[in-house]
């Protein structure tokens, strides 16, 4: 009876998962879900399904049943980049002596199985040592190598640490307070305010790179521009307000263009046409820009080429 009850519970969970999937695909709110929300829903459902399947396999093994037939899992074998280091673990038989007594067996082949392994990020300390030298016979002074140039003078992080924080925040959408919690698990106590100061200083030093990228894109014959909303903190009100990120992009690969694709982002508090005019200052392409394409009314007057 206990086994029947367990099977009924598994069946109920599977039916619930099917209902959740149907709701995510065809429910009244499905058209309101963003792509990220749909992906999160499918991730949760997939995790739950795999948990149920693992439970079924464990129950079959506990009863002495053989492995159940199931479709081969989708794997990336054969597509793992050749540039990844390979660590071979050769497993030899307990004995190579032939059972018939004729001697030692000879190798005729091998089976190779590749699995992806992940080593968690390792924190380390870079110690810069600058020895001092002086002459024993005179007092002409002490010789020492100069302090190397750092992105943030007399600060704790290396350039690699700052890059990791930036990529985690802006590419992986990992807020600074969560990064602070992750570092705390490794015994590093860094308040998010400290991380924020690193990001601010890095933004200052990266500003010339962004400006140069914008200049390079504005030298193109045609550009695409669009804006999207972003919540922005509104100090004093205890809530957020709507800001706008404007993307200025170029990608002519589909039309046989030789210029590499690129994109640069600008921030504005609104979506008015004058913002587009400001961001496009210096662009003299021959293609007129119609901001009706950007979800705005009116047009952008560009300078004559």
- Asked if residue 69 belongs to a domain, the reply is no
pLDDT in tens, the chain (305 residues): 666 676 677 677 667 767 766 666 666 655 556 666 666 666 666 766 777 777 777 777 777 665 555 555 555 555 788 899 999 999 998 888 888 888 888 889 999 888 888 888 889 999 999 999 999 888 888 999 998 888 888 788 999 999 999 999 989 989 999 999 999 998 999 999 999 999 999 999 999 999 999 999 998 888 889 888 988 877 677 788 898 999 999 998 888 888 889 999 998 988 888 888 888 888 876 544 444 344 433 333 333 33
CA separation (Å) from 31 to 28, 37, 71?
Answer: 7, 11, 32
Overall number of domains in the chain? 3
Residue 300: predicted pLDDT: 39
**Closest by Cα among 280, 251, 285 to 266:** 280
Residue 41: predicted pLDDT: 65
Residue 44, both tokens: 């949760």
The structure's pTM equals 0.67
Under 8 Å between Cβ of 91 and 113:
no
3-state secondary structure (DSSP) of residue 54: helix
Residue 236, both tokens: 């004093």
Residue 86: predicted pLDDT: 93
Residue 88, both tokens: 């071979």
Beta bridge partners of 224: 249
The parent domain of residue 186 ranges over: 159-206
Under 8 Å between Cβ of 212 and 223:
no
Cα 263 from Cα 250, distance rounded (Å): 6
Last residue within a domain, chosen from 62, 78, 94: 62
Count other C-beta atoms under 10 Å from residue 262's C-beta: 15
Cα 186 from Cα 165, distance rounded (Å): 15
Cα 9 from Cα 89, distance rounded (Å): 41
Residue 127: predicted pLDDT: 93
Shared-domain flag, residues 183 and 233:
no
Last residue within a domain, chosen from 181, 206, 231: 206
Last residue within a domain, chosen from 206, 233, 267: 206
Residue 162: predicted pLDDT: 93
- Asked if residue 144 belongs to a domain, the reply is no
Under 8 Å between Cβ of 104 and 98:
yes
Shared-domain flag, residues 30 and 51:
yes
């Amino acid at each position: 009876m206990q086994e029947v009850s367990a099977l009924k519970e598994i069946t109920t969970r599977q039916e619930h998962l099917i209902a959740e999937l149907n709701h995510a695909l065809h429910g009244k709110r499905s058209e309101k879900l963003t792509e990220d929300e749909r992906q999160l829903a499918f991730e949760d459902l997939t995790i739950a399904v795999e948990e149920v399947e693992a439970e079924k396999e464990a129950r079959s093994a506990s009863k002495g049943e053989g492995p159940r037939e199931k479709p081969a899992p989708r794997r990336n074998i054969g597509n793992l980049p050749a540039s990844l280091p390979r660590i071979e673990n050769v497993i030899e038989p307990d004995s190579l002596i032939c059972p018939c007594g004729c001697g030692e067996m000879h190798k005729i082949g091998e089976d190779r199985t590749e699995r992806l392994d992940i080593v968690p990020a390792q924190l380390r300390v870079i110690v810069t040592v600058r020895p001092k030298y002086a002459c024993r016979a005179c007092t002409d002074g002490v010789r020492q190598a100069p302090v190397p140039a750092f992105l943030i003078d007399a600060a704790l992080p290396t350039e690699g640490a700052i890059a990791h924080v930036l990529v985690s925040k802006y590419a992986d959408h990992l807020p600074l307070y969560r990064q602070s919690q992750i570092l705390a698990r490794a015994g590093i106590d860094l308040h998010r305010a400290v991380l924020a100061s690193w990001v601010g200083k890095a933004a200052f030093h990266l500003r010339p790179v962004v400006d140069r990228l914008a200049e390079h894109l504005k030298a193109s014959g045609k550009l695409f521009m669009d804006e999207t909303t972003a919540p922005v903190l509104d100090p004093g009100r205890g809530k957020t307000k709507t800001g706008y990120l404007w993307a200025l992009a170029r990608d002519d690969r589909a039309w046989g263009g030789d210029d590499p694709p690129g994109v640069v982002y600008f921030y504005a508090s609104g979506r008015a046409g004058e913002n587009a005019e400001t961001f496009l200052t210096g662009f003299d392409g021959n293609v007129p820009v119609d901001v009706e394409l950007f979800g705005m009314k009116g047009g952008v007057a560009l300078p004559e080429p």
